A and B are shown apart, each in its own frame.
Chain A
Amino acid sequence: MSKLSQSVLDKIKKEQIAPRARWQFVVLHCAVWTLLLLSVITGSLAMSVVFRDLFGTEWEFAEYVAGSRLRGIIIMLPYIWFATTALGIFLAYKLFEKTRHGYRYRAWVIAGGTVALSGLTGLIFFAAGTADSFEHGIRQTIPQYARLREAVEGQWVAPEKGILVGRVKELTNEEMLLVDDLAGKEWEVERVGQALELPFELRVEMMLLMRGEAVEDDEFQASQLRPWRRGEPLRKPGRPGPGAEGPGAFERGTPPPPNARVLNRQGPGAFAPNTPPPDGEAFNREGPGAPELVPQPAPPMR
């Protein structure tokens, strides 16, 4: 027995050193994989919000908000979610390196794999509409974030520049609708020109982007209408909207109560006020007494 071996054994005995239990290592490896999974999910969710904002924003209208399209895009880009995506991917990358055999893969393979996985999962989340509920949850949890987003999105409430974004509160008739803008102000919106022929179904609670001009303090003449962020409901609580909760936060994705779906048309075949249409909430209905608004391909909104 060498002197060194003997001194090691003596030290082990003297200090009562023992091998760490196997379960400790199992827990450690599981923790790394769990954190890795959480990082990928975080990155994916953040990426789904990025997709939602990129694909759901009417960038061609940005110039009306900010003066030029480029400036509008720079102002509106979801930087927080870019950063969160990058952070999630970076953490996933670093954690994969810490896994038992992570070192065997080259950096670009791990980085590419992490980006691809987060991107693919982010797309799935985006397609499934998870981005809305996730972002909604963040707004409710982090008031600072909610205020920041409201400040950015509030720029889309610029009636003096001919831009308005808001929630459809009521479809008064085939030309008129009531809208609550993102700041909570009620507008009576008149549809004119291209806005009378829509390639999508207009319904109560949907979010709309309107291009036109403010003719009165609370009246807006819209010549173009677009669904805003896929038209998902976004409510400003503090206002007595259906299902609204608490002041200061927006709510997305909550279906309105049936009596909120109104189409106050007059004349033969009109729905009675506050009576849901028989087949749901369709505005462009077919059959006797249907409104004259039939889906037609709309010319490009430029």
Chain B
Amino acid sequence: MSDSTPPQSTDLELVRRALSDQEELLHLMERYESRLLRYVHRLTGLGQQCVEDVVQEVFIKIYRNLNNFDQALAFSSWAYRIAHNEAMNYIRSNNGRKTLPIETDDEDSLNLADILAGEVDLPDEAARAEQAQLVRSILYTLKPVYRDALILRYLEDQDYAAMSDILQKPMGTIATLLNRAKTQFKQLAQKNNLTLHFAS
């Protein structure tokens, strides 16, 4: 089982093993659990328990559809795609329900701001927390599709090709989406007196 699996096994090898032995799914889950939990949390803003429920469903779907895994894709892109769809379904089915994270995600918010902005002036801890809250508020004010694009690109560090596979949109559209997301983020930031200078 897990102990006998060499850590350097590729995702594809793990997929093949999981098809013949469900226990082998454990290795895939261990490899992607934290990433998917973090991604779904960032995207939906749900609390820990709800995020775990969503990700549990993601892994079940991954397992059910293992035979449909397209080897032309990276497994991570496929897993993110399923997580994206599941999270979006959740957002749609809970339309109107507030999904801001209950617990603070200051580092996430500030990371995003740092990445998007050339510089952000953070004089002290209180201002830093306030700034993070503002960035997070702006992020969750964006349309989910824009929020998703920013999260995938700047927090999940996905490249355009991977984003294309995850969001199932052509790469040109991904570039357009990101530009619009950044523009909207910037406009909202300016309205909220948060000065950001976007890197190209």
Which residues of A approach B to under 8 Å, CB–CB? Answer: 1-2, 4-5, 7-9, 11-13, 17-22, 24-25, 100-101, 103-106
Stretch at the interface among B26-34, B106-114, B128-136, B186-194: B26-34
A12 CB contact (under 8 Å) in B63, B164, B169: B63
Asked if A22 meets B170 with Cβ closer than 8 Å, knowing A4-B37, A9-B26, the reply is no
B contact patch SS: helix
Tell me how far the C-beta of B96 lies from the nearest C-beta in chain A, rounded to whole angstroms: 28
29 A-B pairs in the complex with CB atoms less than 8 angstroms apart:
A1-B2, A1-B30, A2-B29, A2-B30, A2-B33, A4-B33, A4-B37, A4-B52, A4-B56, A5-B26, A5-B30, A8-B25, A8-B59, A9-B23, A9-B25, A9-B26, A11-B56, A12-B22, A13-B22, A17-B63, A17-B64, A18-B22, A20-B64, A22-B67, A25-B67, A25-B68, A103-B169, A103-B170, A106-B173
Most buried by A among B23, B70, B170, B173: B170
Question: At the interface, yes or no: B55 with Cβ under 8 Å from chain A?
Answer: yes
Contacts of A11 in B (CB 8 A): 56, 60
A contact patch SS: helix
Contacts of A106 in B (CB 8 A): 170, 172-173
Contact, CB under 8 Å: B170 / A21 = no
What CA separation (Å) do A104 and B26 show in the bound complex? 31
Most buried by A among B59, B70, B164: B59
A4 CB contact (under 8 Å) in B2, B29, B66, B172: B29
Which B residue sits closest to A7, measured CB to CB?
A: B56
What CA separation (Å) do A39 and B172 show in the bound complex? 27
Asked if A19 meets B19 with Cβ closer than 8 Å, knowing A1-B2, A4-B37, A106-B170, the reply is yes
What CA separation (Å) do A12 and B70 show in the bound complex? 22
Asked if A20 meets B29 with Cβ closer than 8 Å, knowing A9-B23, A103-B170, A104-B164, the reply is no
Contacts of A100 in B (CB 8 A): 70
Contact, CB under 8 Å: B60 / A8 = yes
What CA separation (Å) do A22 and B16 show in the bound complex? 13
Question: Which residues of B (97-118) have their CB < 8 Å from a CB of A?
Answer: none
Question: At the interface, yes or no: B199 with Cβ under 8 Å from chain A?
Answer: no
Per-position contact with A for B5-22: 1 when CB-CB < 8 Å, else 0? Answer: 000000000000001001
Contacts of A9 in B (CB 8 A): 22-23, 25-26
Tell me how far the C-beta of A109 lies from the nearest C-beta in chain B, rounded to whole angstroms: 8
Per-position contact with A for B150-173: 1 when CB-CB < 8 Å, else 0? Answer: 000000000000001000111111
Tell me how far the C-beta of B139 lies from the nearest C-beta in chain A, rounded to whole angstroms: 25
What CA separation (Å) do A8 and B27 show in the bound complex? 12
Contacts of A103 in B (CB 8 A): 164, 168-170
Contact, CB under 8 Å: A20 / B65 = yes
Chain B contributes a number of interface residues (CB within 8 A of A) equal to: 30
Contact, CB under 8 Å: A19 / B66 = yes
Contacts of A22 in B (CB 8 A): 67
Asked if A5 meets B64 with Cβ closer than 8 Å, knowing A103-B168, A104-B170, A105-B170, the reply is no
Contacts of B126 in A (CB 8 A): none
Contacts of B26 in A (CB 8 A): 1, 5, 9
Contacts of B63 in A (CB 8 A): 8, 12, 17, 19
Contacts of B68 in A (CB 8 A): 20, 25
Asked if A8 meets B29 with Cβ closer than 8 Å, knowing A17-B60, A19-B63, the reply is yes
| A-B contacts besides A5-B30, A22-B67, 16 pairs, CB < 8 Å | A1-B2, A1-B30, A2-B29, A2-B33, A4-B55, A5-B59, A7-B56, A11-B60, A12-B22, A17-B64, A19-B67, A20-B67, A21-B67, A25-B68, A104-B164, A105-B170
Per-position contact with A for B25-63: 1 when CB-CB < 8 Å, else 0? Answer: 110011001000100000000000000100110011001
Contact, CB under 8 Å: A12 / B25 = yes
Contacts of A7 in B (CB 8 A): 56
Contacts of A18 in B (CB 8 A): 22, 64
What CA separation (Å) do A282 and B63 show in the bound complex? 72
What CA separation (Å) do A4 and B64 show in the bound complex? 17
B64 CB contact (under 8 Å) in A19, A104, A105: A19
Asked if A8 meets B56 with Cβ closer than 8 Å, knowing A1-B26, A104-B170, A106-B170, the reply is yes
What CA separation (Å) do A20 and B66 show in the bound complex? 8
What CA separation (Å) do A21 and B22 show in the bound complex? 14
Contacts of B37 in A (CB 8 A): 4
Which A residue sits closest to B37, measured CB to CB?
A: A4
Contacts of A8 in B (CB 8 A): 25, 29, 56, 59-60, 63
Contacts of A4 in B (CB 8 A): 29, 33, 37, 52, 55-56, 59
